[in-house]
Amino acid sequence: MAALTWNSAAGDLTIGGVSMNTPAWKVLNLHVLWQPAAQRGQDRLVPSATGVRKFQRRATVTEHDLELLIVGSHTRTGSTNADLFEGLQVNVDYLISNVVNPTGATDGTRSAVLTMPDGTTRTEPVHVTGMQFGETSQDGAYLKAVLSISVPSGRII
C-alpha cells in the first residue's frame, strides 16, 4: 500500500509543544477551530440600558473532538517504518505519553497554538481530556482516533 501523505500548508495545531500535523499523524478537522469568533465562544459587545457591555458567549468551557489520523508508515520526524504495526504502536504511545498524559503537567493544562490558514496564530491553555481509538486498517497503515480537548476559558485558541 502506498504511504499516506497530506498537505501541511493548511495550518497546524500544537499542544504542549507537540505538533498535531506531522508525517505520523494529523488532525483531520482543524476547520472547527477556524470558525469566526461568534461561533468559537469569544465575548461580544452588546448594547444595554447602561451603555455597551461584554456578553460571554459561553460561561464555562468550550469542548471539541478532533478527528485524528495516525499512520504506521512514518515517524513524527519523517523517517519511514518498515513494520507498519510497530510504527503505529510507537506513534500511539508517543501521543499518549506526550499529549494525552504528559509528565509534569500538574493541572493538566497545556498551551495550545492554532495556526490559521492565513498564517496568524491563536494561543490558549487547553486540557486534553482523552483520546478514543476507532477504525484500524488491516495492514496497520493507519488508525483513526478522536482527540478530545477542553478550553477552560470558554474560548477556543
**Per-residue model confidence as pLDDT tens digits over 20-55:** 999 999 998 787 776 654 444 445 556 666 666 555
- Average pLDDT of the chain is 77
**Among 30-39, 92-101, 106-115, which range has the highest average pLDDT?**
92-101
CATH of segment(s) 8-151:
2.40.30.200
At 71, is the pLDDT very low, low, confident or very high (cuts 50, 70, 90)?
A: very high
Q: Tens digits of per-residue pLDDT, 118-137?
A: 888 888 888 888 899 998 88
Neighbours of 96 (CB within 10 A): 12
E strands, the chain, are 12-15, 18-19, 25-27, 44-48, 51-55, 62-71, 109-115, 121-136, 142-151
- What pLDDT score was predicted for residue 59? 46
Neighbours of 59 (CB within 10 A): 7
- What pLDDT score was predicted for residue 109? 79
At 4, is the pLDDT very low, low, confident or very high (cuts 50, 70, 90)?
A: very low
- Confirm whether pTM is higher than 0.85: no
